[in-house]
Amino acid sequence: MPKIFYTERDIEDLYHSGVTTLVVNDDVVITDLGREKARKLGVELLKENDQPSSAPIRPYITEKKSPSAAPSLPQTPVPAPTQTALEDRVLSSVQDKVGDSIDAGLLKTIIQRVLKSVGGS
């Protein structure tokens, strides 16, 4: 998920649109000037699991439940593609990008050499 950046101007815009609290998590970055502006305007910056100061504390609701003890389903490993299947997929993908501007035989030779050098065979 991409990060969301809030600058001083963004905080002003949020304040003028009526926002009084802003939830900050790992995907939200607020610049230093943005934090200062939020403090001056009274916009409360909350961490994702924080509660506003006026909210009652209800531990029976806010406590995190332990994950279920049920075992997870076994994962079946995906078989590695064969050398020719991998070459065909790469060739098809490259031809989609470059069209007919490169000779197919030359392209196939290049792909085989690259796959060999990276351990594909």
Q: Is residue 109 part of a domain?
A: yes
Domains identified in the chain, total number: 2
Q: Is residue 19 part of a domain?
A: yes
DSSP label at residue 102:
S
Q: Is residue 27 part of a domain?
A: yes
Q: Is residue 63 part of a domain?
A: no
Q: Is residue 77 part of a domain?
A: no
Check residue 70 and give its pLDDT: 55
Tens-place pLDDT, residues 72-112: 666 677 777 788 888 888 888 888 888 888 888 888 898 88
For residue 94, give its domain range: 83-117
Average pLDDT over residues 44-61: 67
For the chain, what is the radius of gyration of the CA atoms? 27
Average pLDDT over residues 19-23: 87
Confidence of residue 115 (pLDDT cuts 50, 70, 90): confident
pTM for this one? Answer: 0.41
DSSP label at residue 6:
E
Rounded to 5°, the CA angle 45-41-31 comes to: 55
Confidence of residue 58 (pLDDT cuts 50, 70, 90): low
Check residue 47 and give its pLDDT: 83
CB under 8 Å to 33, separation ≥6 — which residues?
Answer: 7, 8
Check residue 96 and give its pLDDT: 87
Q: Is residue 61 part of a domain?
A: no
Check residue 35 and give its pLDDT: 93
Q: Is residue 98 part of a domain?
A: yes
**What spatial distance separates the first Cα and last Cα of the chain, rounded to whole Å?**
35
Check residue 53 and give its pLDDT: 61
Q: Torsion over CA of 9, 12, 14 and 18, rounded to 10 degrees?
A: -170
Burial class (CB in 10 A: 0-12, 13-18, 19+), 95: middle
Q: Is residue 58 part of a domain?
A: no
